[in-house]
Chain A
Amino acid sequence: MENLFPILLGTILINNLALTKLVSIGQLANFGDNEDQTLTLGLSAAVIMAVSSILSYVAFTFILDPLGVTVLNLLVYVLIVLLVTMAVTGFVKSRKPEMHAAVGKVLPLLAVNSAILYLILDMMNQGMEFVPMLLTSIGAPIGLLFAFILYGAVRERLAVSDTPKAFRGLPILLIYAALALMALSGLNGII
């Protein structure tokens, strides 16, 4: 049990996929115009990530590997992520129609969020056991939600700041991401 907490803390903060491996930055830099939208998108992405990584693990361990068709892994993972994204989109549509009207266009694109596929591929490459896999599937989505909220807040702040013309938009956000990454690397080695 004693090594479970480090896995959880590590995936949420220290090895946060979006902030340290720089996956899904394209989506973090573009999605959501205000706090509510960012939160909805972040929560949806987190749920998709958690559910699809567990389903992918099950599909790989009990179907692809025993049948010897691991070459189909990428197609199966993408299909699983796609189906979970559609389910989440449907859920948002039925529970919060006004929010779906605002983010409905980008919500399905969470299926091509690279952080989600990165987590799945990485877990399968490492050949994780069930319990660490479960913890990673809980921790990493919380980390992704954290990244969504962080980037949303930064974009709101940058919108009212006086940025040099050439740096407006993506470049200044990347500079910010680099600084955040360097700050976060200070936590390396505490667990």
Chain B
Amino acid sequence: MNRLENTKIGFLGNNPVLGLALGLTTALAVTSSMTSALGMGILTFALVLLAAVLGGLVKMAAPKEALLPVNIVLVAFLAKMGELLVLAYAPSLASSVGIFLPLLAVNSLILFATGAFLPEASFGKGLGDAAKAGAAYVIALLAVSFVREVLGTGGIALSNPLSGAEIASFSLLPSEYTLSLFTQPAGALFALALVAALFAALGKKDIETGGK
């Protein structure tokens, strides 16, 4: 994680999950369908913003050595809050992602957003970075889940994560040509690797200007 200190977050190159491996566990687990990826993406984005605001405030009060432990507890608190809200208002999302909902407590993207790794950054810069990283995370989740759902089931069935009402659905591949591998964990790794390579190739300029 040392390299996070002077790495610029980007959408294509240095994408937080596809390039820097932040929040990878969640990304692998929830991308089997676009609906759960969208739901968890929005939840993570909201938690990232909250974490950035609260983390910025904590930074003003807590000594530098205690920043990491305090922020870890802060993220656990936010994750519990998110879990209870999802259980109450989006039970279908809660049942489809299961244990990975409370596991947001150890999501390194949310921890990164609190500013635990960048103790010198200002409040505004931390908030801006967190918003950018959160948005890039949602885009990455949607891209990976699109690849997985199309290759695994032949089409997309997107529904509202809150109510379960269908938003859009279409079919691209005939069912004889689908690969059920992509609905499995191994397929998650393949799809994530392919999308990560694609993003890295498209965002080469970002990486060069971002530096390590």
**Contact B196 A21, beta carbon cutoff 8 Å:** no
A130 contacts B by Cβ under 8 Å: no
Q: Which chain A residues border B200 with CB–CB below 8 Å? A: 166-169, 171
Interface hits, A154-191 → B, CB 8 Å: 164-172, 174-175, 177-178, 181-182, 185
**Contact B189 A118, beta carbon cutoff 8 Å:** no
Please report the C-alpha to C-alpha distance between residue A113 and residue B103 in the assembled complex, in whole angstroms: 10
A41 contacts B by Cβ under 8 Å: no
**Contact A86 B185, beta carbon cutoff 8 Å:** no
Min CB distance A126 to B, Å, is: 11
Q: Which chain B residues border A86 with CB–CB below 8 Å? A: 69
Min CB distance B136 to A, Å, is: 15
Known: A78-B72, A112-B72, A118-B99. A30 touches B189 (CB 8 A): no
A111 contacts B by Cβ under 8 Å: yes
Please report the C-alpha to C-alpha distance between residue A178 and residue B186 in the assembled complex, in whole angstroms: 5
**Contact B25 A114, beta carbon cutoff 8 Å:** yes
**Contact B186 A78, beta carbon cutoff 8 Å:** no
A82 contacts B by Cβ under 8 Å: yes
Q: Which chain A residues border B186 with CB–CB below 8 Å? A: 178, 181-182, 185
Residue in B21, B77, B185 whose beta carbon sits within 8 Å of that of A170 in the complex: B21
Q: Which chain B residues border A111 with CB–CB below 8 Å? A: 69, 72
Segment at the A interface, from B33-41, B50-58, B105-113:
B105-113
Closest to A86 in B: B69
**Contact A106 B99, beta carbon cutoff 8 Å:** no
Please report the C-alpha to C-alpha distance between residue A82 and residue B105 in the assembled complex, in whole angstroms: 12
**Contact B102 A113, beta carbon cutoff 8 Å:** no
Please report the C-alpha to C-alpha distance between residue A167 and residue B75 in the assembled complex, in whole angstroms: 32
A25 contacts B by Cβ under 8 Å: yes
The size of the chain B interface, using a CB distance under 8 A, is 44
B73 contacts A by Cβ under 8 Å: yes
The binding surface of chain B is classed by DSSP as helix
Closest to A184 in B: B186
**Contact A26 B108, beta carbon cutoff 8 Å:** yes
B29 contacts A by Cβ under 8 Å: yes
A53 contacts B by Cβ under 8 Å: no
Please report the C-alpha to C-alpha distance between residue A149 and residue B188 in the assembled complex, in whole angstroms: 23
Min CB distance A151 to B, Å, is: 12
- Bits for B156-200, please: 1 = Cβ < 8 Å to A, else 0: 000000000000000000000000000001111110111011101
B18 contacts A by Cβ under 8 Å: yes
Known: A117-B103, A166-B197, A172-B193. A75 touches B76 (CB 8 A): yes
Please report the C-alpha to C-alpha distance between residue A175 and residue B69 in the assembled complex, in whole angstroms: 33
What are 19 A-B interface contacts by the 8 Å CB criterion? A21-B185, A24-B25, A25-B21, A25-B24, A25-B28, A30-B1, A71-B80, A74-B80, A75-B73, A78-B105, A79-B76, A82-B72, A113-B106, A117-B102, A166-B200, A168-B200, A171-B193, A177-B189, A181-B189
Query: Contact residues of A with B, CB < 8 Å?
Result: 20-26, 29-30, 71, 74-75, 78-79, 82, 86, 105-106, 108-109, 111-114, 116-118, 121-122, 125, 164-172, 174-175, 177-178, 181-182, 185
The 6 nearest A-B residue pairs measured at CB? A178-B189, A174-B193, A78-B76, A166-B201, A26-B24, A26-B21
Apart from A26-B22, A171-B196, what are 11 other A-B pairs with CB-CB below 8 Å? A22-B188, A25-B28, A29-B24, A74-B76, A78-B105, A108-B68, A112-B111, A116-B106, A117-B102, A175-B189, A182-B186
